[in-house]
Amino acid sequence: MSARDDILAAIRTGLTHGRDGALPRQTPAQIAAEAAALLADPDEIRPALSGPDPVAAFIAKCANPALGVTLERLAGWEALPQAVAAYLTRHDLGPRIAVSGDARLDRLAQLPLETHRDTAPDEAAAISVALWGIAETGSVVIHSAPDQPILNAMLPRHWLVVLDETRILPFLDDYAAPAAPAPRNAVLITGSSGTTDIEGYFVRGAHGPGFVHVLLISR
Amino acid sequence: MADAAFKQRAHDALADTNLKTAIDRTTGTAETKRAIAVEAFPEFQAARSRAAAIKDHVIANLDHYLIEFERNATASGAQVHWARDAAEAAAIVTKICTDADAKIVTRAKSMLGEEIGLPHALEEAGIERVETDLAEHIIQLAQERPSHIIWPAMHRTREDVATLFFKDHHPPPEADDPAAMVASARRVLRAKFMAADVGISGANFLVADTGATCTVTNEGNAELSTTPPRIHIVTAGIEKIVPSTDHAMALLRVLVRSATGGEITQYTTFHCGPKRPGDADGPEEMHIVLVDNGRTRMIGDEFRQMLRCIRCGACMNHCVVYRQIGGHAYGGTYPGPMGAVLTPVLDGLAQSRDLPHACTMNGRCEEVCPVRIPLKTLLKAWRVRTWDEGLVEKPLRYGLGLWGFAARRPWLYHLGARMALPVMRLFGRGWIRRLPLAGGWTDSRDLPAPAARSFMDQYRRQQKDARK
Amino acid sequence: MTTPPAVGLFVTCLVDAMRPQIGFATLKLLEQAGCRVDVPRAQTCCGQPAGNSGDRKAAAALAKQVIAAFEKFDYLVAPSGSCVGQIRSYPALMDNPGWRRRAEDLAAKSFEILSFLHDVMGWRPNGVRLDATATYHDSCSGLRELGVEAQPRALLESVEGLEMRPLNGANVCCGFGGTFCVKYPEISTAIVSEKSANIAATGADLLLAGDLGCLMNMAGRLHREGAATRCFHTAEVLAGMADGPAIGEDT
């Protein structure tokens, strides 16, 4: 017998001859119904949002210093180039940024900046567009795609991420449906990279970015 | 019973004041942060019950969900492998690496990887293994095993880490504070991430309806380990299945709060198959190794409830014994209360007979367990087996036998008390500093002398007097 | 007038041999609260040492003895959370359905003294006075298996002249753990030493708790370290019997 057969057989033996008594085996439909019932009344098992609406809640979460995030609201996509230039100047990062390839970031070309695609291992700054935001936790979500290199979000010291506020979902569970297409890699990013591995001290920028700046595009 | 090796390890750990400092710093912070997170989440108790119910549902239908997961993972382009035990799992991983002629392998921390002996297996195969989690990097340099499932290097103080990094990092860290040391590790490991041929990660969840594996980290090392190499391998215990992403989220809420006191980890990452056509980055192959290694044996008895465990580490952070002796003294892959339940399954009861006994049964572990595992009950179940299998040391066995014989005969028991108590009082009237055969107590504590006459004796005389 | 409840006092083997005064304090409190109390002679031990060592057979035999001796009462009351915790777990030791039913019946009417006085009898101390400062340790079984937490504190609040001081880590185990403390004395000592440091830091005259095992462990360590803290069972204070020798003081 293959390992697969052995393991599945051992599971069935355990479930039907166990010391705790045999479990009645269910049909796939029964299993699905039971699984769905376990998701009933979601408000009983999740925290209340930290603001009156998802956008306010998202902004409130990002204000939590523990996340190591800064957030800036922009009136529209047109305001993006100026905001990016100002950020780079403010942090003394030089006129250079890695850009993910999202067409909406093409407008950065109008700046006197050097923009490029392939994020270097020691890149100072890079910018991506988030697919979703999650108000419950202040997370942004990226899905690997031709115009969404995962490393663009992981390698730089400063990661700038653009999020359209219409893309903010209230709760983590609300992301389950958009997660269904299952890209190769879906990453929920909540704040900057950090570690508490040395005596529990929180240190930013362990492997990923030490600075995350959310550029929130208003409706 | 007390196995000399366990007692010796505990003795050595207790003598190490540096270790105690390190444990207190990390577990103290963890305990405080968890308490704050739980306080801020009034739904926590309901969320724990739901989390436990989700895990029970999965285990009761584990065959169904594994097949569903396999189907969906395969459809995404991943290759699914099955391993009956640790050796088989390690062999599968090593073979994938050698077949791909891999020279450098990066690993994102996975306790299952430790359980199946992957570090050793890769070394045997002559493959350079790079641990990328900061704590795993520290213990790789120190050539040690993890002492905690969330903070594997928690037994190391910042001074220890500085010594290791200054010796091994070229150039050395700019200073010996945690921030400078983290920056140095970032520099050293960054080059390895980009050069790796294979990246190996574990999984916190296997999502049945999408075929994705989910890993949570705070450092971001999972994405960096799994994106640049040609091959991504996931090793995961078969109990990690959840029906859907929704269910994963419900578990995530209690997992992270219980582990670090956060609401969510900085990086929560779902991997589903290899790089898609046109994707900007990602590996060309993805392999998932589903590991049994004793888990199916637990399904058929009371230890089934242990398969709920989501590896948060709260039980050890709140364990008085763990906080004195640390993780290495337990001698297995998993320390603390959850380790004391799991290690006898993984390593055999005779090997680890002390673990279920080296517990005060104070119940704090199950009070904080996010999936309500009855740890005390399971530890007691192991104690019953040690008794039944003759693994309890003889003096205790005989002593308890004698006690039980008398206790089941009240007349004899009360007579014995009347005779024994005055004898005990020969050793002292107030405090007894030394008592033969009671060194376990009197080596470090004074013993209050017993009463001259027992309660039952005094009470009977009072009743008699009252009737006169 | 309702009939006063019939209470069987389960003395516990430790109290019987080591500190009978706790038994008499419990008896006095139960009578003050309006109970008719009897002390069945056919009692010895609840079976915890056997149960906690894995000897299920001996634990079950002792459980049957306790059930037979106490099932005729309205309540079983004991001055120990851990013994009552053991008694409440008797049903799991019984394979025979008849015995299991009897075990369940007894479990349902078994109480630790302080929660019994507070929750079941609605009793409050009246005119009890003790001029001292004290701190309180939550014994684990009482706290986590029986929910004994607010009751002793509420009752102690009514003791005149008694100033309670909070204990850092009051709900953390003292390292007793029954046979644990002699099987793994080094670990137990390390745990109780942290506890004694916390107790000493309160500066309180007295340490109070609801389980004699824990009290002997903490008192024994405190005395070995030369601390002046005096240790009593909470029931002794409430019964006005904390004016004499404390645990370990020459009687």
- Would you say the pTM of this structure is higher than 0.90? yes
Conformation bin of residue A214: beta by default, left when phi > 0, alpha when psi is -120 to 50: beta
| CB-CB under 8 Å, A7 with B296 | yes
Of C11, C52, C185, the CB nearest to B383: C52
**A·B CB contacts under 8 A:** 290
Per-residue model confidence as pLDDT tens digits over B198-238: 999 999 999 999 999 999 999 999 999 999 999 999 999 99
Pair C85, C161 in one domain: no
pLDDT above 90 (res A201): no
Domains: count for chain B: 2
Pair B50, B187 in one domain: yes
Pair C49, C69 in one domain: yes
Give yes or no for A4 touching B (CB within 8 A). Answer: yes
Pair A91, A193 in one domain: yes
| CB-CB under 8 Å, A151 with B281 | yes
Tell me the residues of chain A between 161 and 190 that have a Cβ less than 8 Å away from chain B. Answer: 171-173, 175-176, 179-180, 182-190
Pair A177, A76 in one domain: yes
Per-residue model confidence as pLDDT tens digits over B22-56: 999 899 999 999 999 999 999 999 999 999 999 99
Contact present, B181 and B161 (Cβ < 8 Å): yes
* Residue C163 to chain B, least CA–CA distance (Å): 26
Per-residue model confidence as pLDDT tens digits over A105-124: 999 999 999 999 999 999 99
Domain that holds residue C148: 127-238
- Alpha-carbon torsion (A48, A54, A59, A65), positive or negative: positive
Residue B131 lies in a domain: yes
| CB-CB under 8 Å, B431 with C190 | no
pLDDT less than 50: residues of chain C: none
| CB-CB under 8 Å, A23 with B60 | yes
Q: What is the DSSP letter of C145?
A: I
Pair A26, A59 in one domain: no
Domain that holds residue A27: 3-40
* C-alpha angle B426-B429-B431 in degrees, rounded to nearest 5: 110
Closest CA to B376 of B366, B368, B367: B366
Query: What residues of B are in contact with residue C191 (Cβ under 8 Å)?
Result: 320-321, 324, 360
Contact present, B362 and C144 (Cβ < 8 Å): yes
Per-residue model confidence as pLDDT tens digits over B92-101: 999 999 999 9
Residues 6+ apart with CB under 8 A from C235: C22, C25, C26, C29, C79, C113, C114, C210
Pair C156, C114 in one domain: no
Query: What residues of B are in contact with residue C178 (Cβ under 8 Å)?
Result: 360-361
Mean pLDDT computed over every residue of chain A:
94
Of B161, B249, B304, the CB nearest to A173: B249
CA C189 to chain centre: 22
Q: How far apart are CA C66 and CA A91, in angstroms?
A: 75
Query: What residues of A are in contact with residue B161 (Cβ under 8 Å)?
Result: 198
Chains with 3+ CB–CB pairs under 8 A to A are B
Per-residue model confidence as pLDDT tens digits over A41-91: 999 999 999 999 999 999 999 999 989 999 999 999 999 999 999 999 999
Contact present, C201 and C133 (Cβ < 8 Å): no
Tokens representing B147 are 């002492």
Residue C65 lies in a domain: yes
Q: How far apart are CA C123 and CA C159, in angstroms?
A: 13
- Alpha-carbon torsion (C232, C236, C238, C244), positive or negative: negative
| CB-CB under 8 Å, C180 with B360 | yes
pLDDT value for B1: 41
pLDDT value for B429: 83
Residue B109 lies in a domain: yes
Q: How far apart are CA A159 and CA A206, in angstroms?
A: 14
Domain end position, chosen among B260, B278, B296: B296
Tokens representing B281 are 């980055």
ipTM value greater than 0.90: yes
Residue C153: CB atoms within 10 Å: 17
pLDDT band at B3 (very low <50, low <70, confident <90, very high): low
CATH of the domain at A181: 3.40.50.10420
For tokens 């609201």, name the residue: A73
Residue C244 lies in a domain: no
Query: What residues of C are in contact with residue B2 (Cβ under 8 Å)?
Result: 183-184
Domains: count for chain C: 2
pLDDT above 80 (res B151): yes
Query: What residues of C are in contact with residue B360 (Cβ under 8 Å)?
Result: 140, 173, 175-178, 180, 188, 191
Domain end position, chosen among B255, B272, B296: B296
Pair C96, C165 in one domain: no
SS3 C21: helix
Per-residue model confidence as pLDDT tens digits over B159-181: 999 999 999 999 999 999 999 99
pLDDT value for B424: 85
Domains: count for chain A: 2
pLDDT above 80 (res A23): no
Chain C touches chain A, with at least 3 Cβ pairs below 8 Å, answer no
Domain that holds residue B457: 394-467
| CB-CB under 8 Å, B444 with C189 | yes
Domain end position, chosen among B296, B323, B356: B296
Pair A95, A144 in one domain: yes
Pair C150, C110 in one domain: no
Pair C109, C143 in one domain: no
pLDDT above 50 (res B278): yes
pLDDT band at A19 (very low <50, low <70, confident <90, very high): low
Residue C1 lies in a domain: no
Question: Region A152-158: what's the mean pLDDT?
Answer: 97
Q: How far apart are CA B158 and CA B143, in angstroms?
A: 17
Q: How far apart are CA A145 and CA B277, in angstroms?
A: 9
Q: Which residues of B228-260 are buried (b: 16+ CB within 10 A; e: fewer)?
A: bbebbbbbbbbbbbbbbbbbbbbbbbbbbbbbb
* C-alpha angle B133-A195-B371 in degrees, rounded to nearest 5: 85
Which is it for strands B241-242 and C230-233: parallel, antiparallel or unpaired?
Answer: unpaired
- Alpha-carbon torsion (C88, C89, C95, C97), positive or negative: positive
Pair B54, B170 in one domain: yes
pLDDT value for A18: 60
Residue C251 lies in a domain: no
pLDDT above 90 (res B426): no
| CB-CB under 8 Å, C176 with B455 | no
Pair C95, C17 in one domain: yes
Pair A33, A53 in one domain: no
